Amino acid sequence: SLIIIKGAKDVPVPEILPKRAVMWVKPTVLPRSVASYPIGMKPILPEFLVDSTELNAVKSRLASYEHMQLPWMEEYLLAMGEGENRLHRKQWEFAVIAQALDRHGKLATGKTGLGFAVGLEPLATYFAKRGARVTVSDMPMQQGNQGDWAHTAQHSDNIDKVWRAGVMPLEEFRARANFRAIDMNNIPSDLMQGQYDFVWSCGSLEHVGRAQKSLEFIINSLRCLKPGGVAAHTTEFLLNDKVTHEDTYLNFFTEREIRDWVAVIESMGHTVLPLEFAAGTIVNVDALAEHRMDDHIQLMDTHGTRRLIHTSISLIIIKGAKDVPVPEILPKRAVMKGCAYA
């Protein structure tokens, strides 16, 4: 509380505040012993309970509170009209995609980008503001679960919906961007001619089907790139189980799936930036259970009798010199379907 007694008169306001280093107070840490977890919830796997040692490096990595504290995170968020850093993993996804493309020189005049399932995210407007020309896309209106996305204000069907007010004038955005309805499982062949400098998707590939479908989408997105182009994708990562949760609409991928994907992608001559499975500080996920719209880095979801703790992961990929035939995609793994093992 601040208790203030008004003085005799009003005087001019002095220079407000010097810029200070911000002191971040860590959130409540979830105890790491199995006994401390609520009944029915597996603990986060110990291999993920580590801190990153290279927070400023561009990597393929897990979201973490420590990563969200870096000054450039808020700089990107403010520049793309997201406002202040709320310590939300969706903001983390926006910032790490922008950082990866920026550090590789893709956000500049003369560069071209292709975004998948962009919804109402701010990235396309920010990329156009930086000088790039972008093709933005979302699921066709008549297809699948688009009604759910539209109902929650996450679906777009024209270029004006994609525009983020306050980032750049609408007319300028229209001049640098165009919209296409695209099914991520059926990318039009005219887009897979190696003509783009970068592609991106933000929290979308977990919705295209099972793990093999997700990998097929990543590979097809690489076919849209010039050699040396960058693909930046984010998706869901399961922290407290080694058995994948898969269904036709939402998947939580494990370290094993991610490493399988990387092996296939690199066997095709592409480069996946180094993987780091460091979740850093873990908040009390039980308190965040089911609160999807609250600010969070980790989240707990209930599926049947299981309580799954998940977060976001980024995959940053550099396109190789040429496209090669797709190898046998994935070995058959045990998966959890509807919370029963299959």
pTM for the structure as a whole: 0.83
Q: Are 316 and 272 in contact (CB under 8 A)?
A: yes
Angle at alpha carbon of residue 230, lines to 228 and 235, rounded to 5°: 150
Angle between helices 211-223 and 255-267 (to 10 degrees): 30
Contacts of 178-183 spanning 24+ positions with Cβ under 8 A: 178/134, 178/135, 178/136, 179/135, 179/136, 179/137, 179/138, 180/135, 180/136, 180/137, 181/137, 181/138, 181/139, 181/140, 181/141, 181/157, 182/116, 182/137, 182/138, 182/139, 182/140, 183/139, 183/140, 183/143
CA diameter of the chain: 81
237: nearest Cα among 334, 310, 336, 338 = 310
Q: Beta strand pairing status for 177-181 and 133-138? A: parallel
Q: What are phi and psi of 289, to 5 degrees?
A: -55, 125
Tens of pLDDT along the chain (342 residues) come to 889 888 888 877 665 544 444 334 444 444 443 334 565 678 889 999 998 889 999 999 999 999 999 999 999 999 999 998 988 999 999 999 999 999 999 999 999 999 999 999 999 999 999 999 999 999 886 554 544 444 444 566 789 999 999 999 999 999 999 999 999 999 999 999 999 999 999 999 998 888 889 999 999 999 999 999 999 999 999 998 888 777 767 888 999 999 999 999 999 999 999 999 999 988 665 555 555 556 788 888 877 777 888 999 999 999 999 887 776 655 555 444 443 322
In Å, what is the CA distance from 306 to each residue of 107, 241, 292? 42, 10, 17
Hey, what amino acid is at 229? G
